[in-house]
Amino acid sequence: MLSVSVACAVLAAAQLADAKITFETLKDIPLADSPQDITFSRDGQTAYILGQKTIMIYSVPEAKVTDTIPLAKPYSRMALSPDESTFYLTARDAPQIGVIQYATINTFEIGKSPVIGNAKARVVVTAFFDYQCPYCAKVYPLMQELLKKYPNDVKLVIKQYPLPMHKFAEKASTAALAAARQNKYEKVTELFFANFSTLNDDTIRKYVQEAGVEMQKFDQDIASPEIKDILQQDQQAAAQARVRAVPAIFINGISPRGRSLELFSQMVEEQLKKKK
């Protein structure tokens, strides 16, 4: 087996004899714990460094360790699940695998985004939606059920995330935000998602009218620079939270590992206990 490996190495060296490389040592990164292994997030923005006593979470853009996860025992190797929610750790000569679940708590400013539900609710569901997205249209009724189940404790903040592939998504977002100025945001949102596959210039206005919006004021509001500012702020919030696709749901800043009323309710209950 060794001779085969050597032969392959020699062959590879011969094939690459004319190749040239360049490299530059950028820096040494000081750490508080001796590194054993390292893995990266899919977007390359975060390095997860396995130390002897901790897992260090290193932000590449910030060039610093932003958080640590303490370890009860030492490990020598680490892998991260495809959804980046779970660490799998192994140690030399130990017949077991350590499993640690991991979640980032994001901070979202409500800002000027309309709120659906009790504005004083302790649990904030932040949802990045596209009005032409069929998956968003399926999730929104779950949000409505959650609000009905926790009328005093949960509020919904929709952050606009219109996808470039959907021709009328940004127009629908703009229309919904304009309708919010007449307190018709929730009704317009419901109509848009119920009819997501038919949205176009004409039907957007039709559904806005059906919601009871006064159209002369609507036409004035839809051109407001403030609405464009909200859309830009929502895009910035999505980038900071590394939203890659919609629907993206966060309950008090934590992304659920699934989409069901049961799971959402469980997370709400956990957050209410923490608040107490």
Q: Find how far residue 250's CA is from the centre of its chain.
A: 7
Selection from 161, 163, 196, 160 nearest residue 180 by Cα: 160
Residues of the chain with pLDDT > 70: what percent? 93
Q: What are phi and psi of 189, to 5 degrees?
A: -60, -45
* pLDDT tops 60 at residue 274: yes
* pLDDT tops 60 at residue 5: no
Q: How far apart are CA 212 and CA 199, in angstroms?
A: 18
Q: Is 97 helix (H, G, I), strand (E, B) or coil?
A: strand
Q: What are phi and psi of 47, to 5 degrees?
A: -110, 130
* pLDDT tops 90 at residue 111: yes
Helix (H) or strand (E) holding 190: helix 185-194
* pLDDT tops 60 at residue 102: yes
Helices H / strands E in the chain, number of each = 8, 11
pLDDT of res. 16: 53
Which residue(s) pair with 79 in the sheet?
88
* Residue 224's pLDDT band (cuts 50, 70, 90): very high
Q: Give the least confident one: 18-27, 209-218, 245-254.
A: 18-27
Q: Give the least confident one: 7-11, 154-158, 173-177, 231-235.
A: 7-11
Determine contact, residues 151/118, Cβ cutoff 8 Å: yes
The domain spans of the chain are 29-101, 115-275
The alpha helices in the chain, defined as continuous H runs, are 2-15, 134-149, 169-180, 185-194, 201-210, 215-221, 225-240, 261-275
Fold type of domain 115-275: Glutaredoxin (3.40.30)
Mean pLDDT, range 54-58, rounded to an integer: 96
pLDDT of res. 244: 87
pLDDT of res. 181: 97
pLDDT of res. 43: 86
Selection from 233, 259, 261 nearest residue 248 by Cα: 259
Which carries the bigger pLDDT value, residue 85 or residue 89?
Answer: 89
Determine contact, residues 56/49, Cβ cutoff 8 Å: yes
| Cis peptide bond N-terminal to 82, omega within 30 | no
Q: Say which amino acid occupies 155.
A: K
* Residue 275's pLDDT band (cuts 50, 70, 90): low
* pLDDT tops 70 at residue 147: yes
Q: Give the least confident one: 20-29, 177-186, 249-258.
A: 20-29
Report the chain's C-alpha Rg in angstroms: 25
* pLDDT tops 80 at residue 2: no
Among 2.60.40, 2.40.10, 3.40.470, 3.30.160, what is the CATH number of 29-101? 2.40.10
Name the token pair of 202: 């004409």
